[in-house]
Amino acid sequence: MFDLTALRGEMKHLTFARVTKMAYNEKHVLHGERNDKVYSHFCGFSRCMAQSERSIWFKKDGHFAQVYVGPAMHTSSLGKFSEYPRVGSVIMGVTAKAPKGEVFLWWTQDARPLFEFVQLLEEAPARVLRQSSRTFSKLRSDDLYLFCRFVLGDVKTLAEQLGEHKTRHPVHKDDTGYQRQKGFRLRCHPVPFAFYAALMCRNGDMFAAFLSEIGDTDQADVYTVERLANMIQ
């Protein structure tokens, strides 16, 4: 089990909220009809999931299409009306006090998996790692799932991505449709994945454990324990 104090600290800066109301004005429609409408502006109201008395306002301009959590990238689109937040959906971002109340300085939507990630960090690691199907169903992506396993102490599953004998996916099937696929489809190579996971956790031991698991690698001269230590300082 690794020390996750820094990771928990980083995630505490983020506010998760559930959308309670959306406000649109037809004068802001740029083009399109019905679900294909594109608005130049909209705003909405949300309720903080940790402190329900906090009402937080947000607007379209504050939306971030990409948010990185360690090596995992969360994406969300606002291309048209059908992709806009709905009442009940979860958004996440950084808030600030304003004259008329609390506002999101920036936000991203479809953030339920990131909320679940934060909750899983507080559960018993052995349970999270053992109940792989449950964990993946909450996190919904290979990147976030392996990031979660990695920081909770499972270095082996990520290391296996570099070899022939990969752990089978907890949910996804292979091309035959009968067996679960071998391995995971990550956004980046496992070595930088482990490096940036350890960087967010500010934990050199985490990356050192990964390197000892994989042995020699063609990226060892770029992603090193020494480089990580310098970046953490």
Q: What is the pLDDT of residue 178?
A: 80
- Between 117 and 174, the more confident residue is 117
SS3 state at 48: strand
Assign 127 a pLDDT band (cuts: 50, 70, 90): very high
Assign 154 a pLDDT band (cuts: 50, 70, 90): very high
What is the Cα–Cα distance from 117 to 15, expressed in whole angstroms?
13
Q: What is the pLDDT of residue 233?
A: 82
- The residue-averaged pLDDT of 137-142 equals 97
Say which amino acid occupies 11: M
Q: What is the pLDDT of residue 109?
A: 97
Q: Enter the pTM of the model.
A: 0.93
- Between 84 and 222, the more confident residue is 84
> Can you list the domains of the chain with their CATH numbers?
6-112 (2.40.50), 123-232 (no CATH)
Tokens describing residue 58: 């947000």
Q: Are 161 and 190 in contact (CB under 8 A)?
A: yes
pLDDT at 218 over 80: no
Give the residue among 103, 94, 93, 60 at the shortest CA–CA distance from 79. Answer: 60
What is the Cα–Cα distance from 50 to 41, expressed in whole angstroms?
28
